[in-house]
Chain A
């Protein structure tokens, strides 16, 4: 997992996004234990309070859970992880379509591009 930030938007939101990606990419697999708040904060070179805030947000989303005194774990809810992945995919596709629209391509042309040069 790599932490790349800009200073222009709230750090905790960027942390939420990075950790969310790590979970859907299964860098932290379903049900696995996460490093401690302090460890994660040091990895990201951020304040432990900011990391805590990001983890609380992920917990509210249901993507991680706290086991009393034992630390934090990735959810075992496969469906939720799949849904999160779908949501992220939707955002990326919409962004792509908007960008293509902005340079004058219709949806059909955009799809054609995606099929012919996609992945290359």
Chain B
């Protein structure tokens, strides 16, 4: 098992935001972490990336509790941009190269070339869509065991969405896994092996995507809408 959450609970003050989460992530699969805004997706992702502390339970990566060791094998795309806007593309790549042992510089430049992105360009001079693409390239250029992408499709146009999905598909390394959190399900459901429904801090369902379609005779998007009708 690549990643395992065991009875994980997280509270902010007294409010329970994740309630006894049990989750297993296998090697070589793409998971969709699907939930409405505020369901607890980003909190769970931050716990897995050791950016928040767990109140109860534990998270194991390759059988060991998460920490510095797991960070070097998990490539994480946060929901919000973290790049220094004054940096040029080239210096950002250098920064990643120094920071992450598993960073594949060749791959990053190849992906940048496909995008026609000038390496001397300042981040602040790039469009929002371009910045999102650059961040995805940086994250996918690591030869990680687990990629965690928090809302990679938020706020981008449909053409950029296609680019992002293609980049995820063509760059995730064989045997590694991907967790994609999103509420934009119809755009992404085709590439998922497994779906995880999360609502009000609880895991409602985990299932093989095709089995779920077969059982419910509908799309994941439709099943999600039915389950979480407001």
Residues of chain A whose beta carbon lies under 8 Å from any beta carbon of chain B: 5-13, 38, 41-42, 45-50, 53
Contact = CB atoms under 8 A, between A and B. Distances in A.
Given A42-B166, A42-B170, A45-B169, A7 B190 contact: yes
B193 A9 contact: no
Contacts of B213: 7-11
Given A5-B190, A9-B217, A47 B169 contact: yes
Contacts of B23: none
A6 B210 CA distance: 12
Contacts of B211: 10
B219 interface: yes
B193 A47 contact: yes
Contact of B214 (A7, A9, A48, A50): A9
Interface string B180-195: 0000001001111100
16 contacts: A5-B190, A7-B186, A7-B189, A9-B214, A10-B210, A11-B213, A38-B170, A45-B169, A45-B191, A46-B169, A47-B30, A47-B169, A47-B192, A47-B193, A48-B174, A49-B28
B165 interface: yes
B210 A45 contact: no
Interface string B210-223: 11011001111110
Contact of B221 (A7, A10, A41, A50): A7
Nearest to A46: B190
